[in-house]
Amino acid sequence: MPAISFVVARSEPGHVIGCDNKLPWRLKTDLKNFKKITTDHVVIMGRKTFDSIGRPLPNRINIVLSTRLTEHSSKFPEGNIFFVENRDSALYLADLFSFMKGYKDIFVIGGGVVYEEFKQTFNKIYLTEVYSDKIRGDAFFNYEFDDREWELENNERFPASDDDEFPFGFKIWKKRDLKARERSRFLSSFLTPDENLKEWELQQLEKVKLPRPTFKGPKRVQLELPEVRKIAFSK
């Protein structure tokens, strides 16, 4: 299954990630990097993060955790955005779409509450550190990376410039243990005994222009999973 990767920008020191639901810095270079990393993938975010962005991120499948499903769904009835109530629902959709699209990563992009929800499952992080002791905020990401558990895959530094308010560094950390980086999921988790979900599943797949599924048998609704389905059900 796709890796669960965090994308986080925080101050160093202080570990601030936001202030009044906004980024407390201006880093044009980092925004370009964020777009490059996450384009053509699934991104998972909280409702406050989505509200701060103001719209679905283009060329990405947006999954938003929200307790206001009816309110948000009525505003964004179509397109590349889905509103879910909990972490399990978010992961189900993220895995399904990534599986069928061939995406390698699922990106969790904030905010602090959502990072906490996925803290036990992420195995890679794209971390921007903004170097200033003057940054203040009300949201934090205080996770520390132990060299015995995490491997530093990339480490770049960028100076302050006309485009970037502060100097910053960009790091990629990944779990050292290969088993900890791998995720698996039983194919049966993509099957459901509820015939009433047929129409809903069709609607979701059509929103992101995925192939229409084929349903088999009276007891289970089976989503068509390219390649993997042929292997799993040919035995």
For the chain, the average pLDDT equals: 82
Q: What is the pLDDT of residue 206?
A: 67
In the chain, what percentage of residues exceed pLDDT 70? 73
Pairing of strands 61-65, 81-84: parallel
163 phi, psi to nearest 5 deg: -90, -20
Position 204 pLDDT exceeds 80: no
Position 228 pLDDT exceeds 90: no
* Residue 127: both structure tokens together: 């971390």
AA identity, residue 22: K
N-to-C CA span, the chain: 21
Query: What is the pLDDT averaged over residues 176-182?
Result: 74
The DSSP H or E segment spanning 48 is helix 47-53
Tell me which CATH code domain 3-181 carries: 3.40.430.10
* Residue 103: both structure tokens together: 């995406």
Give the predicted TM-score (pTM) of the model: 0.81
Query: What is the pLDDT averaged over residues 204-224?
Result: 54
* Residue 5: both structure tokens together: 């990767």
- Cα 10 to Cα 16: distance, rounded to the nearest angstrom: 5
Please state, as a whole number, how many other Cβ atoms lie within 10 Å of the Cβ of residue 231.
10
Q: Residues spanned by CATH 3.40.430.10 within the chain?
A: 3-181
Give residue 93's pLDDT band: very low, low, confident or very high (50, 70, 90): confident
* Residue 145: both structure tokens together: 């990376």
pLDDT tens-digit readout, 149-170: 999 999 999 999 999 999 999 9
Position 110 pLDDT exceeds 70: yes
CB 83 within 8 A of CB 72: yes
Question: 217, exposed or middle or buried, with CB in 10 Å at 0-12, 13-18, 19+?
Answer: exposed
CB 149 within 8 A of CB 199: no
Please state, as a whole number, how many other Cβ atoms lie within 10 Å of the Cβ of residue 234.
6
Q: What is the pLDDT of residue 111?
A: 93
Q: What is the pLDDT of residue 99?
A: 80
Residues 6+ apart with CB under 8 A from 180: 123
pLDDT tens-digit readout, 19-30: 999 999 999 999
- Comparing CA positions, the residue from 59, 42, 37 lying closest to residue 98 is 42
Please state, as a whole number, how many other Cβ atoms lie within 10 Å of the Cβ of residue 122.
19
